[in-house]
C-alpha cells in the first residue's frame, strides 16, 4: 500500500509542476511579437499535422457561383482552389513569404472592396500570416496568383502562441 501512496504523490507533484510551468510561460505577445517559422529554408520538419479546409463564396457579379477553398495536407503545405479553375489546387508556396508548416487555414472575401480575397494561415509556431489578393474575372492559377497578392504573406504582429 505504501508503494501506491508514494506513486500517487509523485504523479501529483509532476502534474502540478507541469501545470505551473504552462501558466507561467510567456506568450509571443508578451515577448514582443511573432517568432519566425522553424524552417525558413524549405526543408519540411513539420511532421504530421491534421488536415484543414476553409471556403468562401462571394456574391459579386463576375464571381457568382465561385467558391474559393484553402486546404492543408498532413505535411503542413497549403493549397488554394478557385472553383472557376476546376481541379486546379495551387500550392501557396508560389506566393511570396508563404509560411511553412501550416496547421490551420481561413479564407474570406471582402465584397465591398471589389472582391479582395484574404488568405489566413496559422503556422505551427503560432504565428498568423495573412495575404490579401485582388480577384478578377480571371480564375486564379499558379502563374497569376503571386501577382495578385501584392507583397505576399505578412506575419500579424503580436499573435499568440497556441
Reported pTM: 0.68
- Which pLDDT tens digit goes with each residue over 44-99? 567 777 888 888 887 765 666 789 999 999 899 999 999 999 899 999 999 999 99
Q: Kindly state the greatest CA–CA separation across the chain.
A: 75
Tell me how far apart the alpha carbons of residues 20 and 104 are, in angstroms, rounded to a whole number: 28
Q: What element of type H or E holds 8?
A: helix 2-24
Q: What element of type H or E holds 147?
A: helix 145-148
- Which pLDDT tens digit goes with each residue over 23-36? 233 333 333 333 34
Q: 132 — phi, psi (to 5°)? A: -115, 120
Q: What element of type H or E holds 6?
A: helix 2-24
Contact 130, 32 (CB under 8 A): no
Amino acid at each position: 500500500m505504501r508503494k501506491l501512496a508514494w506513486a500517487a504523490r509523485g504523479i501529483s507533484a509532476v502534474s502540478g509542476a507541469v501545470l505551473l510551468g504552462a501558466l507561467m510561460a510567456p506568450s509571443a505577445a508578451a515577448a514582443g511579437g511573432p517568432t519566425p517559422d522553424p524552417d525558413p529554408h524549405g526543408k519540411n520538419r513539420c511532421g504530421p499535422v491534421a488536415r484543414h479546409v476553409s471556403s468562401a463564396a462571394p456574391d459579386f457579379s463576375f464571381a457568382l457561383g465561385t467558391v474559393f477553398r484553402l486546404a492543408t495536407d498532413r505535411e503542413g503545405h497549403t493549397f488554394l482552389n478557385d472553383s472557376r479553375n476546376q481541379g486546379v489546387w495551387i500550392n501557396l508556396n508560389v506566393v511570396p513569404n508563404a509560411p511553412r508548416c501550416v496547421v490551420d487555414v481561413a479564407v474570406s472575401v471582402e465584397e465591398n472592396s471589389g472582391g479582395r480575397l484574404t488568405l489566413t494561415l496559422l503556422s505551427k509556431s503560432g504565428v498568423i500570416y495573412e495575404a490579401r489578393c485582388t480577384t478578377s474575372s480571371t480564375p486564379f492559377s499558379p502563374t497569376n496568383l503571386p501577382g495578385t497578392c501584392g507583397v505576399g504573406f505578412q506575419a500579424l504582429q503580436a499573435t499568440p502562441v497556441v
